[in-house]
Chain A
């Protein structure tokens, strides 16, 4: 990168060749108003807010699309420029319903902020205010065309970052409308419900249904945390107000997911209607009844210790979800493994990373020139991976090989598809290196190959690495997906991934936490287990059959660390306090050990 030097507003500033004028301004902390600009997607120069004057230029030009050149003399502010910007805003305000006081986004709206900044206190043109439909068909997000300024941020994000291409434009001129699939209701469209469009919308046109009208940004607290819904551990920001989490947003500063989240992470974990366990329960006279923490802990200790006394340490089992944090797992091991010496301590979903390959980040996937996707997890259950793969293929021309029947959307972008049932994937993966095959040719010439593998594939054949003859140093890389948020952490703690309650166990402790997949496990074994204690966030059949129930916080309420699929430690931070009566899992178990 060679350095260039420009004069902006009379000041000497530096930039790099290939920068736009806007980029140079950003580097030098020179404010240029923007509306359609959004980092990471291509510039369209639509909103005309960033017009600047380049000396010698024929007319004003948009800073976001004009390449900066060495020696350029640029003016970003002048009376003429200011009044043009204000006039553009005035036209935008006259176009549709931009009466701020009734808008969800008021206070957090970029259009409104620009209007204040440019002193636009009235609109001299008649308000055109056409009648426009509100699309509330989607369960999580809504589209109000009245507030849309047609900046096309959502369209570009949906196409370029997500790869869904659901959003686009229809009609033209003053009739132009944002439309999903050319005019379908959002719920009937190809929308993948990732919510990226909502996060980038500068106004209140696309908004989150759950958090709408529940608080402006200044009234809310924002906490950076990590999503435990899958093993990627995407960086999130939890937006909360008055003890409630309003929404989950992708952390745009994360180099990995960069603001993108999947439907599960952004919406499903908040939008469930599950009943919480809010205080300890102890079975008395055949019925579960509320109890104090002291009572419940005493009952737990009594049940476990009685079983150990009768049947030895082997009669006691403790099973956690591999979604539990490292701290909770350590506390579990502290009591059951170290104190009681139980051999039956495990974590469902614990999985070690496969040997022999460096771990691939999402960044690596986006920059890869060849991606092999194998296993059913890779597409359907890890949308964010799917987005990264789409980006690599569509934006950078990477080749894609899909093995297995999952990742249906990505199959359309693949150059080779090897169909395989879920039990055949591992074998099919091995056939990629068959002599003379199209896949082998692709692998042989790839410099930066990434293998993305999900269940049921547990190992990547060494033959793949051997076939990658042109690979650069440190490549190919592997992203092995794991079943749970902290699968790697649980495996690193030495916990058994296929944990079950062994025969002869008379007392079991289940650390389910907020893992809803744990909630009907062990039901068939209930009769064999004499004493069952469950630590869970939600009511469930398992909870109903337990002898002791300890309420557990959900992920937005707790602190801790996890190890994601790539072996990177990610942190959970609480956005809200758990409800009164709910105690942190690790603290409770630590108390037991004493």
Chain B
């Protein structure tokens, strides 16, 4: 392999591809060639770096200079500055949130330097389509060692020592689960990877498959060894075409390299993996529904017991974990369970990847030790709430999770602490809300999601979520009475207690937790017919402050319903409240702050 003076890591995660990183790559390669630098500077396309709102992102090694929002047009200047003149191209650097100072390197960027990357250690660093880069980072060493030198019992023991808990949501101890499958009677067993990541906003599993697929394959093979299974399936949703493509390629490469297939490392152990593509049902992330779907049946959950560890795929004992859980396995095997257990809190070990989104300066994937406080994530890593607004709440765990209000900003993010305040770690969705978020509306959003995604099998979830949604809708329209609030609480409790699967059992959580912390906001909607965050269309009205109006007519021209008219003989406009649909376009377009929301 020729030696290069410098390496440009170009993030090619889903987000950066959407922002147009591939034309940047072409421009970069052309420019390097034009400047005769092609032998000195290498361009590597990696998986997701994590800072998705800054894409397309380039990191130039060896100095780790971090360039953001690079367009193909920037490339000639960048090459000129960085590689020929040997100085950092300042225009494409990130600015610090607090000081407005420029941040030159990834190391200096708080978004990255507060993170501890285990799951994502290779993401954004290696080329996911090249197995050699994975192997160069020590890939498949753990599998080889386990097969040649260790026993399945040793693997499970190490896993138990590590304290790793399933990252899919429920947080079941992984070592115990592996042990169940190992001990379950049966000739044939299966290993399944749940990559049907469906929580709105969460995409760590996609990132791992897109950025470091071999890590998952290796972990599944180790799982196969530990559980005596010879076949694995990765169930991945069809909405992840890039993850599917890269994982397919990785499987192919691993087979060619002898890391998957028959008699691995010249032992009697054989293991292979196939991909099954889901057809877009959220409920298929529930393990029994997922297994039914792999079998080719309608993807609906069934009651447990029997648990998949006893009777899973085609009735055989099946080990099922999600992508992020598998992504922790190789480091645990390589560095030991004790090492992993040294990270995190007493009961929640290791790191957790959160998908940071919403009203926050730096969005994207962040990996932090369990127990890191919400404040650290929001302010240190996330850079705080933008536009001078105040932090109102953080929503964790997606549609199954809950809200954490500002008073709990110092809560350690781990399984137990989040459960205590009525939320969950879940798959790691973390949505930040500021004062402009209506909590009833947030609850309604998640409930609408659950209503759409309910499989329709059991009445509490099928009808219950629909009726909860109806009650929330009534509240946001200002049509509810106080009895409806009591009915809502009763119904939420009932759906939680009597639904068949996790989807229904957790669907009321967003409502229950917003009720717990923002009950006043519900009451304001019901009693005062007022939405304090000014979000619910039925409870707000738009008007024009005639003193501020300059008569520019921008609002009137943009109004989709033509409800804004000119006041006769004056350079002023007015809104007809009877016909206004409260879309807010006038409010958004007015440059003089003359449109008032009340």
A interface residues (Cβ-Cβ under 8 A, vs B)? 44-48, 51, 59-62, 65-67, 83-84, 87-88, 91-92, 94-95, 124-126, 128, 149-150, 168-169, 171-176
Of B455, B459, B497, B500, most buried by chain A (CB within 10 Å of CB) is B459
19 A-B pairs with CB atoms under 8 Å apart are A44-B302, A45-B458, A48-B458, A48-B459, A61-B303, A65-B302, A87-B490, A87-B491, A88-B460, A88-B498, A91-B467, A92-B463, A150-B457, A169-B456, A172-B281, A172-B453, A173-B453, A173-B455, A173-B462
Separation of A179 and B448 alpha carbons in the complex (Å): 25
| Min CB–CB distance A162 → chain B (angstroms) | 18
Knowing A84-B494, A172-B281, the reply to whether A46 touches B500 (Cβ < 8 A) is: yes
Distance between Cα atoms of A34 and B391 in the complex (Å) = 49
Roughly how many angstroms separate A153 CA and B287 CA in the complex, as a whole number?
Answer: 24
Q: Which 10 A-B pairs have the closest CB atoms?
A: A176-B456, A45-B303, A91-B463, A173-B454, A65-B303, A87-B494, A95-B463, A172-B456, A174-B466, A125-B467
Chain B residues, CB < 8 A from A171 = 456
Chain A residues whose C-beta falls within 8 Å of the C-beta of B500 in the assembled complex? 45-46, 48, 62
How near does chain A come to B118, taking the closest CB pair, in angstroms? 30
The one of B302, B303, B456, B464 in contact with A91, judged by C-beta atoms closer than 8 angstroms, is B464
Q: Does B296 interact with chain A (Cβ within 8 Å)? A: no
Contact A92 B459 (CB under 8 A): yes
Contact digits for B425-469, partner A, Cβ 8 Å, 1 yes 0 no:
000000000000000000000000001111111111011111100
- Size category of the B interface is 20 to 34
Closest-by-CB residue of B relative to A128 is B466
Q: How far is the CB of A218 from chain B (nearest CB, A)?
A: 28
A415 vs B500: C-alpha distance in the bound complex, in angstroms? 38
- B450's nearest neighbour on chain A, judged by CB, is A173
Question: Among A84, A91, A92, which residue has its beta carbon within 8 angstroms of that of B497?
Answer: A84
CB-defined contacts of A65 to chain B, threshold 8 Å:
302-303, 305
B487 touches A124 (CB 8 A): yes
Let me know if B456 and A59 touch, CB within 8 A.
no
| In the assembled complex, B597 has its CB within 8 A of some CB on chain A | no
Main secondary structure on B side of the interface with A: helix
Q: How far is the CB of A250 from chain B (nearest CB, A)?
A: 28
Q: Nearest-CB distance from B501 to chain A (Å)?
A: 10
Contact A174 B463, beta carbon cutoff 8 Å: yes
Residues of A within 8 A of B456 (CB): 150, 169, 171-176
- Whether B82 is near chain A, meaning CB under 8 Å from some CB there, is no
Neighbouring B residues of A88 by C-beta, 8 Å:
459-460, 494, 498
Residue numbers in B under 8 Å from A172 (CB-CB): 281, 283, 453-456
Whole-angstrom distance between the alpha carbons of A21 and B452 in the complex?
33
Per the bound structure, the CA–CA distance linking A92 and B461 in Å amounts to: 11
Q: A44-B302, A84-B497 are in contact. Are A91 and B454 (CB under 8 A)?
A: no
Q: How far is the CB of A92 from chain B (nearest CB, A)?
A: 5
1/0 contact trace for B294-316 toward A, CB 8 Å?
A: 00001000110100000000000
**Nearest CB in chain B: distance from A196 CB, A:** 21
Nearest Cβ distance between residue A132 and chain B, in whole angstroms? 14
Given contacts A173-B455, A174-B456, contact A94 B463 (CB under 8 A): yes
Instruction: Kindly list chain B residues whose C-beta atoms are within 8 Å of the C-beta of A150.
Output: 456-457, 459, 462
Complex-state Cα separation, A87 to B493, whole angstroms: 10
Asked if B72 lies at the interface with its beta carbon under 8 angstroms from chain A, I say: no
A residues near B305, Cβ cutoff 8 Å: 65-67
Residues of A within 8 A of B462 (CB): 95, 150, 173-174, 176
| A127 CB, min distance to chain B CBs, angstroms | 10
- Output the least CB separation between B242 and chain A (Å): 27
Bound complex: CA A65 to CA B303 (Å): 7
Question: Which residue of chain B has its CB nearest to the CB of A168?
Answer: B298
Closest approach, in angstroms, between the C-beta of A41 and any C-beta of chain B? 14
| Beta-carbon nearest neighbor of B468 in chain A | A125
CB pair A174 B451 closer than 8 Å: yes
Q: Which partner residue on chain A sits nearest B455 by CB separation?
A: A172
Distance in Å: Cβ of B307 to nearest Cβ of chain A: 12
Verify if B470 is at the interface (C-beta below 8 Å from A).
yes
Which residues of A have CB within 8 Å of B453? 172-173
Query: B236 CB to closest chain A CB, in angstroms?
Result: 20
- By a CB distance below 8 angstroms, the chain A residues around B302 are 44-45, 65
Docked pose: A46 CA to B498 CA in angstroms: 10
| Contact A169 B298, beta carbon cutoff 8 Å | yes
Which B residues, 462 to 513, have Cβ-Cβ distances below 8 Å to chain A?
Answer: 462-467, 470, 487, 490-491, 494, 497-500, 505
Q: Collect the chain B residues with CB atoms within 8 Å of residue A60's CB.
A: 497-498
Residues in B neighbouring A92, C-beta threshold 8 A: 459, 463
CB distance from A270 to the nearest CB of B (A): 35
CA distance A582 to B49 in the complex (A): 91
Q: Which residues of A contact B490 (CB under 8 A)?
A: 87
- Chain B, residue nearest A51 (CB): B498
Partner of A173, one of B451, B470, B491, B505: B451
Contacts A62-B303, A67-B305 given; indicate if A46 touches B458 (C-beta within 8 A).
Answer: yes
CA distance A94 to B500 in the complex (A): 19
Closest CB of chain B to A171's CB: distance in Å?
7
Chain A residue nearest to B463 in the complex (CB): A91
- Chain B residues with Cβ below 8 Å from A45 are 302-303, 458, 500
Give the complex CA separation of A88 and B490 in angstroms. Answer: 12
CA distance A46 to B303 in the complex (A): 9
